[in-house]
């Protein structure tokens, strides 16, 4: 028997090759589709597609944010660059200013380096062979984080499954009560219709057989047997989906909509106080079921 997965989880993984090390943290929450956010050092930006591929092998739906931290000396990719032409322009402008305003002194180095656009940092891409040596270490840390997150999602998924089964049982009990009361409800409806027609048609000569037929037609419109049969069929499908070892959240969400459609039809057909009270309870059950279904992958 398979177990549904929650879309919510957290995982953390660490890995090292003795010189360089990685820490990967991963957070997953509910989302209609798979949406991946990646934060990692700029020099490894080329790995985004690889990282997404690893994540998508574990997650089908949900918002997944992964945070990658690198500690090591294996990559030196930053260097400083001096913009000499710009520096000369600064010097010329400062001297012109000093002369025009009769300000004593000469521009010094400390003043020049305060202009951040003169000395800038340039990030260079790390060498391909160095990156390839580091990737297996990062992947090890990432898989550890994904596995830990998966265990959390499995645990929460099983909790959600049990809760949904209990709520579905409660919902089904209400259907049973409506079905059991249906003959009495129809009988009362038929009696009430006959009494009203007797009053309205008092003194009018009408064929009793025709009258009985019209009453039967009106009463038949109150019969919700078909809706109850469809509800039971949907419930069986719901139970079946909860036992599948694959993402079922969307299918369950669709079934809840079908539940609600049938319940609304029952409500429109039966004008009965006790049934109306039961319908309110069923809609409340469905709302809670739907909230939980939104958490499943």
Q: Count of CB atoms within 10 A of residue 175's CB?
A: 20
The CATH fold assigned to 9-75+127-155 is Ribosomal Protein S5; domain 2 (3.30.230)
H/E element holding 91? Answer: helix 84-101
Indicate the length of the chain as a whole number: 297
Q: What is the pLDDT of residue 190?
A: 66
Give the pLDDT confidence of 20-61 residue by residue, as tens digits: 899 999 999 999 999 999 999 888 888 999 999 999 999 999
Q: 110 CB contacts (<8 Å, ≥6 apart)?
A: none
DSSP letters for 160-179: HHHHHHHHHHHHHHHHHHHH
Asked whether the beta carbons of 59 and 33 are under 8 A apart, the reply is no
Higher-pLDDT residue of 3, 266: 266
The conformational region for residue 72 under phi > 0 = left, psi -120 to 50 = alpha, else beta, is: left
| Nearest CA among 253, 259, 250 for reference residue 283 | 259
Rounded to whole angstroms, the Cα distance separating 144 from 226 reads 51
pLDDT per residue over 5-14, tens digit each? 999 999 999 9
What CA–CA distance (Å, rounded) separates 16 from 136?
10
Residue with tokens 């809706």: 227
Condensed to tens digits (0 to 9), the pLDDT of residues 108-133 reads: 777 777 877 888 765 555 455 567 88
Distance (Å, whole) CA 39 – CA 264: 47
**pLDDT at 273 > cutoff 80:** no
Q: Which residues of 109-137 are buried (b: 16+ CB within 10 A; e: fewer)?
A: eeebeeeeebeeeeeeebeeeebeebeeb
Of 80, 72, 81, 79, which Cα lies nearest the Cα of 130? 72
Question: Cα 242 from chain centroid?
Answer: 17
Per-residue pLDDT, averaged over 81-91, amounts to 85
pLDDT of residue 100: 81
Evaluate if residue 78 carries a pLDDT over 90.
no
Mean pLDDT score of the chain: 84
**What pLDDT sits at residue 295?**
94
So where are the chain's domains? Answer: 9-75+127-155, 78-123, 156-293
Distances (CA, A) of 49 to 53, 54, 123, 146: 6, 9, 21, 16
Name the nearest CA neighbour of 167 among 295, 289, 296: 289
Q: Which residue has the tokens 């079934």?
A: 255
Interval 222-242 mean pLDDT = 90
Q: Please state the rounded mean pLDDT for residues 136-148.
A: 96
Tens of pLDDT, residue by residue over 180-213, are 887 776 677 667 666 666 666 665 665 566 555 6
Q: If pLDDT is split at 50, 70 and 90, which confidence band does 1 have?
A: very low
* Strand (E) or helix (H) holding 78: strand 78-82
Place 214 in a pLDDT band, splitting at 50, 70 and 90: low
Cα–Cα nearest to 171, from 261, 240, 231, 241: 231
């Amino acid at each position: 028997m398979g177990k549904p997965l929650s879309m919510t989880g957290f995982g953390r993984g660490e890995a090292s090759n003795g010189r360089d090390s990685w820490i990967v943290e991963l957070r997953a929450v509910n989302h209609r589709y798979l949406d991946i956010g990646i934060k990692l050092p700029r020099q490894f930006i080329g790995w985004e597609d690889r990282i997404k591929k690893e994540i998508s092998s574990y997650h089908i739906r949900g918002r997944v944010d992964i945070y990658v931290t690198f500690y090591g000396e294996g990559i030196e990719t930053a260097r400083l660059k001096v913009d000499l032409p710009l520096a000369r322009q600064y010097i010329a402008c400062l001297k012109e200013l000093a002369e025009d305003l009769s300000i004593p002194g000469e521009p010094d180095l400390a003043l020049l380096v305060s202009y951040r656009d003169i000395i800038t940092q340039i990030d260079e891409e790390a060498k391909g062979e160095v990156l390839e040596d580091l990737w297996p270490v990062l992947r090890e840390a990432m898989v550890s984080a994904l596995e830990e997150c998966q265990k959390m999602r499995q645990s929460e998924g099983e909790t959600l499954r049990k809760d949904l089964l209990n709520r579905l049982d409660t919902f089904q009990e209400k259907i049973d009560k409506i079905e059991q009361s249906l003959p009495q409800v129809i009988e009362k409806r038929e009696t009430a219709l006959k009494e009203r027609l007797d009053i309205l048609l008092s003194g009018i000569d009408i064929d009793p057989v025709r009258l009985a037929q019209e009453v039967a037609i009106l009463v038949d419109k109150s019969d919700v047997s078909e809706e109850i049969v469809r509800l039971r069929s949907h419930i069986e499908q719901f139970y079946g989906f909860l036992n599948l070892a694959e993402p079922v959240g969307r299918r369950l969400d669709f079934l809840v909509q079908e539940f609600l459609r049938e319940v609304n039809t029952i409500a429109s057909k039966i004008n009965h106080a006790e049934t109306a009270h039961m319908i309110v309870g069923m809609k409340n059950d469905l709302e809670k079921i739907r909230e939980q279904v939104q958490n499943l992958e």
